[in-house]
Amino acid sequence: MTIHREGYRSLLVTLAVLLTVNLLAYGSANRTINWWVLAASTLFFLLILQFFRSPRRATVLDNKHVIAPADGKVVVIEEVLEEEYFHAYRRQISIFMSPVNVHVNWSPVEGVVQYFKYHAGKYLVAWHPKSSTENERTTIVVKARNDVEILFRQIAGAMAKRIVWYVKEGQPLQQGAEFGFIKFGSRVDVFVPLDADVRVRIGDKTVGGQTVIAELSE
């Protein structure tokens, strides 16, 4: 287990603030207060530290599989009209990431990035129905080797204030490769063809880069 590069600055800032708080508390003659502040600071830093963990994942490559782009819980599976790129109906599979989940994002399929766009927006809670269209978000479309286009969308939540992406249009992307990171609570939507076989159910836990969430038809 390693620490993700996106966490270095946040961890240094957090550490500096906590050290300052503890130094101020140390000036108190009350030893009980000193120990409580130290314990709370240590716990808080460990919580931030675990958030930025970056596990190594082995992805089983398969052109027919759409894998989970994130750790989390499946909160939406429904047929929707995707209006930004397809302008047609697709099956939406949404994965909610809580603050205790790994927040690295992995590519669901292998192919070439056909479309990318960043949208500034609101910070509604990630499970809100309108977060997919009104929150800060990115939209990425990858054309897989079988010419099927898969759209996936990083969505900021109420706590997430920064979406990071590492892709651009025309870039080849390997299945299971890291394509981005979202700081704190957030969500990723995946849009697959209506004839795809969805392999997960509402409430299922996913492992990013490994869990098969859908299988594409021949």
Q: How far is CA 73 from CA 12, 117, 146, 152, 162, in A?
A: 30, 25, 28, 16, 21
C-alpha span between 130 and 66 (Å, rounded):
24
C-alpha span between 72 and 186 (Å, rounded):
10
- Catalytic pick from 10, 107, 186, 217? 186
The region, left, alpha or beta by phi > 0 then psi within -120 to 50, assigned to residue 176 is left
Tokens 């920064």 found at: 162
Q: Is 131 a catalytic residue?
A: no
* Element holding 159 (H helix, E strand): none
C-alpha span between 22 and 33 (Å, rounded):
10
* Alpha helix positions (H), the chain: 8-26, 31-51, 131-134
Residue type at position 141: V
- Catalytic residue set: 186
